[in-house]
Amino acid sequence: MRRWLTFAWIAALRFLGEGRMQTGFILVGIAIGVGVIVFMSAMLTSVQTNFTNRVLSSQPHIQLQPPDEVARPLRQRDGIVEAAIVQRPTQRVLALDQWQTIRARMQARPDVVVATPSISGSALAVRGDVSRSIGIVGIEADDYFRIVRLPDYIVAGEPRLESDDILVGLDLANDLGVTVGDKLNVASGNGGNRVLTIRGIFDLGNRGVNERNTYVQLRTAQSLLNLIGGVTDIDMTVTDVYAAESIAQDIGATLPVKAESWIVTNAQFFTALWAQTLSSLLIRSFVGLSVAFGIAAVLVVSVLQRSKDIGILRAMGSSRGKILRVFLIQGGVLGFLGSLLGCLLGGAALFAWYRFARQPNGDELFPLLIEPSLFAFSALLATVTGVLAGMVPAFRAARLDPVEAIRG
C-alpha cells in the first residue's frame, strides 16, 4: 500500500508509529474530548426538541385576538381635555370582527399551515356540591387537533366532540370526582347554562392546565358565552416555528388584530433554552481547545525529538513544503483517528444513558435523537482542528536549518 503514498504521508505515519506511547495518549485524549462533544450535542438536541415539541403540541404557533379595549379622554370642541386621568377598562370577552375574512386571508398565506377559529371564556363547572372555575375553549375539532394534538394526551375516553360533549383535564376530573360518561353542569357569567357529558379526559403534563382547561364544540361555547356566530381567537400553525414572531408582527401590522406568537408567550422557556445552549457551546469550545493544544503539544515534542531526522531529510533535498506537510498530516491523522474513537465512545455513552436513565415507572425520560450528521461533523471538526493545531510545529520544523539540526 505504501507505494501509493507520497513521501509526506510515509514520513508522517512512520513518525507516529515510532512514538507509539505519545500517539496512544493523544488519541485517548482526543477520543475523550470528541466523545464529550458528541454526548453533549446529542443530549442538548434531544432535550430541546422534546421541550419544544411539548410546548408546540399544546398551543398554537400564533393566536389572533381582538385588539385590547382602550379608554380615551373626553375632549371639548376646542380640544380641551375634560378627564385627564384615564383608567384602563376591564377587558370583556369580545368577538373577532369579520373573523371569516381574516381566517380566509390567513389560510391563503404560504407560511400558514392551519388556521381555525376558537372561542374561549370562563365558566363554572358544578358536580353535586362541588364546583370549580374552568376555562371553556370552543373548537372545530378536526382542524384544532391538527394544531393542538389533544388526542395524543387522552388518558380515558375518546377525543370526540358532539354538541353536548366536553373534554376535561385529569386534575379537574379528580377534583370533581367524575369520569368518562358523567354529567357536568356548566354555567357562564353571561347566563348560559348547559349539562354536558364528559367524553374524554386528557393529561397535558401541566397541573394548572389540567385543572382549568376544558374543550367543547364551537357552537356549544358560542351558546354558553352568548357569542352566537362569533369567535374570540383564530389559532394557527406556521411552516417555520421559529419565524412565528416575525409572522405575527407582519399580521399585526396589516390587520386590526392582536397577534401573539408562542415565542412571546413562552419567553421564559426561550431564556432557559438560550442559557442552556450557551453553556453547552462554551463547554464544547473549551473541550475543543484542550484537544487542539494536546495535539500541538505532542507535535512540538515530536519536532524536538526528530530534529536530526528533519535535518537529514532537508540535507537529502526535501523541501520545506514537504516537511511542512509531514507534520500537518500528522495533526490531521491524529484528529481523524481520535474522532473515530470519540464517536464510538460518545455513542456508547448515549446508549448506556438511554438504557439506564429511566423514570420511576420505567418509561424513558425523553426520546433520544441521534443524527448521523453529528458524527460526521465531529469527525470533520476534529480533523480540521488537528491540522490547524499542527501548523505551528509544522512551520517550526520547516524552518529548521539542516546543518544546525544535524549537529543537534
With bands split at pLDDT 50, 70 and 90, how would you rate the model's confidence at 268? confident
Q: Please report, in angstroms and rounded to a whole number, the separation of the first and last CA atoms in the chain.
A: 34
Distance CA 186, CA 336 (A): 67
DSSP secondary structure string for all residues of 62-120: EEEEPPPP-----B-TTS-BS----PPPPPP--PPTTHHHHHHHHHHSTTEEEEEEEEE
Mean pLDDT of the chain: 80
pLDDT average, residue stretch 49-74:
76
**C-alpha cell belonging to residue 60:** 398554537
What are the residues whose beta carbons fall under 8 Å from the beta carbon of 372, sequence distance 6 or more? none
CB atoms within 10 A of CB 37: 26
Structure confidence at residue 72 (pLDDT) = 61
Closest CA to 224 of 142, 150, 162, 164: 164
Q: What is the mean pLDDT of residues 337-354?
A: 86
Q: How confident is the model at residue 117 (pLDDT cuts 50, 70, 90)?
A: very high
Give, for 157, the enclosing helix (H) or strand (E). Answer: strand 154-157
Q: C-alpha cell of 273?
A: 433554552
Is residue 87 very low, low, confident or very high in pLDDT (cuts 50, 70, 90)?
Answer: low
Q: Exposure pattern of 238-267 as b/e (b: 16+ CB <10 Å)?
A: beebeebbebbeebbeebebbbbbbbeebe
Q: What mean pLDDT is predicted for residues 279-300?
A: 77
- Residue 91: predicted pLDDT: 47
Q: pLDDT tens for residues 380-399?
A: 888 888 787 777 777 776 67
Answer yes or no: is pLDDT of 168 > 90: yes
Better pLDDT: 202 or 2? 202
Once rounded to an integer, what is the mean pLDDT over residues 230-254? 89
Percentage above 90 pLDDT, the chain: 16
Q: Are strands 165-169 and 193-202 parallel, antiparallel or unpaired?
A: parallel
pTM reported for the whole predicted model: 0.67
pLDDT band at 327 (very low <50, low <70, confident <90, very high): confident
Least confident of 91-105, 108-122, 354-368, 380-394: 354-368
Render pLDDT for 269-285 as a digit per residue (tens, 0 to 9): 777 777 877 877 787 77
